Amino acid sequence: MAAEIVNPRSDSASDSTDQDGGAEPLDSFDPAFALHRGGKMAVQATVPIRDKDDLSLAYTPGVARVCTAIAEQPDLVNDYTWKSSVVAVVTDGTAVLGLGDIGPEASLPVMEGKAILFKQFGGVDAVPIALACTGVDEIVETVVRLAPSFGGVNLEDISAPRCFEIERKLQERLDIPVFHDDQHGTAVVTLAALRNAARLSRREIGQLRAVISGAGAAGVAIAKMLVEAGIGDVALADRKGIISADRDDLTAVKREVAGFTNKAGLKGTLEDALAGADVFIGVSGGTVPEEAVASMAEGAFVFAMANPNPEVHPDVAHKYAAVVATGRSDFPNQINNVLAFPGIFAGALQVRASRITEGMKIAAAEALASVVGDDLAADYVIPSPFDERVAPAVTAAVAAAARAEGVARR
């Protein structure tokens, strides 16, 4: 039986942050430091060790029989250890939330937080692993060597464009799910919200033209998923303007994106792309001028997801858009990855999937959208992370899709 990762709480703390966001202790009480003191998680045994008989079974000599059985039949590791129920949350600390490249140690509070979200919202045990290396091959080799201990790998807060290559290489070398949540979790939740926005406006997703601001990890993944889901057309814009096949300054990833987006052949700036567009998806930060939002099609959808400052403030977006979503919890329709990754991994682990396919991600998005049901409204196109129906719906859909696509092993 597996050890269970639990979320301890400390009763005492007196540290605080200084006014510049640093870690200098102050006399005043800081609830964030209080919650983090001693760490946010620990490992707890799921079997009791009350006497010498328990000890002899849990460790030597009894454990030897289990080890021998696994050596003879390696798949038994999934039945007699925690492997099939635990995920590695791996980072190099180079793109941590809004903090940027802060290094492995400073990234640990975020990775611990991610791990307890896995447990709280999906019942999945997860272990934070912060790596003191940033080279693509170094990271890949390290994760490959750690993989025998885990049923899946969640890549987290690794800067683009390295994140694309790291994920691709790991998927090629490992027979367990590898999932970069900054890409795919965001894409799944975005697609779910877009499906419901389209349903609310009685339109099909194939009738929509979308514009994405940002061609990093999230923007590229969202574009791929929207195309896979049948979007009418989608164009991405980076700092230099609309991504099109005739640009000679594109990275390899952006060249790939140019091959399946922007069917209309748009050129120019983000503002040029927004004229007449049905959907704006912001994952880049910065500010979109109000006049550009006003130029969108009637009944447009504005998903301004940058944190803490959306590309378009909701008060401005509501003047022109039928549906507005952000990445913030203090506005309706929060696009939050926690709606996706716990259930996606729970479903993949449940059937021992060898990978997470595009079909499994789309199934997750459809299941997430379905939770809203008949309560659909302009301010409710995506459920709350605390809606207890979310994880079971996503888990079941992902498991079923894995079986349908032939990647399930039980």
Within 8 A by CB and 6+ apart from 197, the residues are 301, 322, 323, 325, 381
Is the confidence at residue 3, as pLDDT, over 70? Answer: no
pLDDT reported for residue 286 = 85
Please state which CATH number belongs to domain 4-46+82-176: 3.40.50.10380
Task: Tell me if residue 311 falls in helix, strand or coil.
Answer: coil
Catalytic residue chosen out of the listed positions 83, 114, 169, 254:
114
pLDDT reported for residue 64 = 97
pLDDT reported for residue 288 = 96
Binding residues for (S)-malate: 307, 336
Of the chain, the end-to-end C-alpha distance in Å amounts to 18
CA–CA distance, 211 with 25 (Å, rounded to integer)? 45
Q: For the chain, what percentages of helix, strand and coil (3-state, to nearest 5) are there?
A: 45, 15, 40
Give tens-digit pLDDT for 82-120.
Answer: 999 999 999 999 999 879 999 999 999 999 999 999 999
Give tens-digit pLDDT for 319-342.
Answer: 999 999 999 999 999 999 999 999
Binding residues: 156-157, 182, 307, 336
Give pairs for 296-299: CB < 8 Å, separation 24+: 296/320, 296/321, 297/209, 299/201
Give tens-digit pLDDT for 190-221.
Answer: 999 999 999 999 999 999 999 999 999 999 99
pLDDT reported for residue 217 = 95
Instruction: Report phi then psi at 127, rounded to 5.
Output: -120, 120
Is the confidence at residue 7, as pLDDT, over 70? Answer: no
Is the confidence at residue 278, as pLDDT, over 70? Answer: yes
Concerning whether 114 is annotated as a catalytic residue, the answer is yes
Mean pLDDT of the chain: 93
Is the confidence at residue 368, as pLDDT, over 90? Answer: yes
Is the confidence at residue 15, as pLDDT, over 80? Answer: no
Higher pLDDT, 24 or 131: 131
Higher pLDDT, 349 or 3: 349
Q: Please state the pTM of the whole predicted model.
A: 0.92
What tokens appear for 323 in the block? 């549906």
For residues 225-234, give the mean pLDDT.
Answer: 97
Domain 182-410 class in CATH:
alpha beta
Amino acid at 128: P
- In the block, tokens 């799944």 appear at 188
> Which residues make up the CATH 3.40.50.720 domain(s) of the chain?
182-410
Catalytic residue chosen out of the listed positions 59, 240, 263, 319:
59
Within 10 angstroms of residue 127's Cβ, the number of other Cβ atoms is 20
Give pairs for 215-219: CB < 8 Å, separation 24+: 215/243, 215/253, 215/254, 215/257, 216/160, 216/283, 216/284, 217/95, 217/160, 217/163, 217/164, 217/180, 217/182, 217/183, 218/182, 218/183, 218/186, 218/187, 218/283, 218/305, 219/281, 219/283, 219/284
pLDDT reported for residue 47 = 95
> Which residues make up the CATH 3.40.50.10380 domain(s) of the chain?
4-46+82-176
Determine the length of the chain. 410
Is the confidence at residue 228, as pLDDT, over 90? Answer: yes
Give me the sign of the Cα torsion angle 399, 404, 405, 408.
Answer: positive
CA–CA distance, 385 with 353 (Å, rounded to integer)? 25
pLDDT reported for residue 25 = 52
Q: What is the percent of the chain where pLDDT is above 90?
A: 91
DSSP class of residue 31 equals: H
pLDDT reported for residue 4 = 55
Binding residues for a divalent metal cation: 156-157, 182
pLDDT reported for residue 20 = 45
Is the confidence at residue 17, as pLDDT, over 50? Answer: no
Task: Tell me if residue 313 falls in helix, strand or coil.
Answer: coil
For residues 32-43, give the mean pLDDT.
Answer: 93
Contact between residue 180 and residue 114 where contact means Cβ atoms under 8 Å apart? no
Concerning whether 59 is annotated as a catalytic residue, the answer is yes
